[in-house]
Amino acid sequence: MCHNFSNEVISLKITNLLSETYFNNLEQTNELRTLLNFKTFAMKSKILFVISLLFGLMFINGGLNKFFNYMPPPDNLPEELVNLMTAFVESGWIMPLLAIVEIIGGILFIIPKYRALGAAMIFPVMVGILLTHIIIAPSGLPIAMVLFAINLWVIYENRHKYSPMIQ
């Protein structure tokens, strides 16, 4: 069975199949399941792309900001967080490394073919962001948890791509 259906064709086929009160045979039941699964998969793919696009753009923006400093930090940051960021900058190599990982990881996260690699690159950064908000600045914890959940979702959706590394 060919699975290259437009949304209109899928909707029409589902309507036709559901309009019958009983399925006369197993073939119609299987065709309906296939169409519903395809439509669900198509919608899930679109949602995942939009979320991945926004997630990737946030990390690209964060990485570029580390180089060009076009978004000043808020005035009300906790002192421990200011000290931590100052130490990162004064080290001379941590902040540029983090910026490069965020930019490359964000770009890869947007491209479906390389999304698994981008998610793996950004994961350690996300762990650092999450721990920073748990320990030092809990006011940013909700958004950090949402971003961490998105990263985990993308890793889960691409789990088949990681299996060769752990076999």
> Per-10-residue mean pLDDT for the chain, 167 residues long?
61 61 58 71 87 98 97 92 94 97 98 97 98 95 97 95 90
User: What is the three-class DSSP state of 11?
Assistant: helix
Confidence at residue 21, expressed as pLDDT on a 0 to 100 scale: 45
Residue in 72, 143, 68, 66 with CA at minimum distance from that of residue 101: 66
DSSP assignment, residue 22? S
Confidence at residue 167, expressed as pLDDT on a 0 to 100 scale: 85
Q: Would you say 51 and 150 are in contact if contact means Cβ atoms under 8 Å apart?
A: yes
Q: Rounded to the nearest 5 degrees, what angle is found at the Cα of 56, between the Cα atoms of 52 and 60?
A: 170
Confidence at residue 42, expressed as pLDDT on a 0 to 100 scale: 77
For residue 74, is it within any domain?
A: yes
For residue 13, is it within any domain?
A: no
Q: Would you say 108 and 118 are in contact if contact means Cβ atoms under 8 Å apart?
A: yes
Confidence at residue 126, expressed as pLDDT on a 0 to 100 scale: 98
Between the alpha carbon of residue 117 and those of residues 101, 112, 146, 155, 158, the distances in Å are 11, 10, 20, 9, 9
Name the CA dihedral angle for 91, 131, 161, 121, rounded to a multiple of 10 degrees.
-20
> What is the extent of the structural domain holding 154?
47-166
Query: Which pair of tokens denotes residue 109?
Result: 């996260």
Q: Would you say 108 and 117 are in contact if contact means Cβ atoms under 8 Å apart?
A: yes
Number of structural domains found in the chain: 1
- Distance from chain centroid for Cα 158: 11
For residue 150, is it within any domain?
A: yes
Confidence at residue 107, expressed as pLDDT on a 0 to 100 scale: 98
Q: Judge residue 145's burial from the number of C-beta atoms within 10 Å of its C-beta, 0-12 exposed, 13-18 middle, 19 or more buried.
A: middle
Confidence at residue 22, expressed as pLDDT on a 0 to 100 scale: 47
For residue 58, is it within any domain?
A: yes
